Amino acid sequence: MDADKIYIGVKARTSPDSAKQPAILGKQFAFWTTQLLGSLNIVADAMTSASAVGAGPVTQLNTIGPALKASVQILSGSLSSFQSKKVYIE
């Protein structure tokens, strides 16, 4: 099947443009998301050990850093769940 646009489901074809959901390229999305999560992981590490010059640790950042790191790990582990095992696009 090939066309300029392919609609899957009646609502995909008949809904107003604002309600239509475009498909995403799974591998590109996974790569982009992996890069973003990697960057967030670096930020989390920096937050965990953040300190102000001459003033000691920044406790708010030191507290939030590990929580962000844990969230990044959970999200990283669930990336494959976004990819269909049945539908493939170019």
CB atoms near residue 72 (< 10 Å): 19
How are the residues of the chain apportioned to helix, strand and coil, as percentages rounded to the nearest 5? 60, 5, 35
Task: Give residue limits of the domains in the chain.
Answer: 23-82
| Whole-angstrom distance, CA of residue 11 vs CA of residue 6 | 12
| Whole-angstrom distance, CA of residue 6 vs CA of residue 16 | 15
- For residue 45, the model assigns a pLDDT of 94
- For residue 16, the model assigns a pLDDT of 87
- For residue 65, the model assigns a pLDDT of 93
- For residue 23, the model assigns a pLDDT of 85
pLDDT along the chain (90 residues), means of 10: 85 86 88 94 93 89 93 90 82
Query: Tokens in use for 80?
Result: 């494959």
| Reported pTM | 0.72
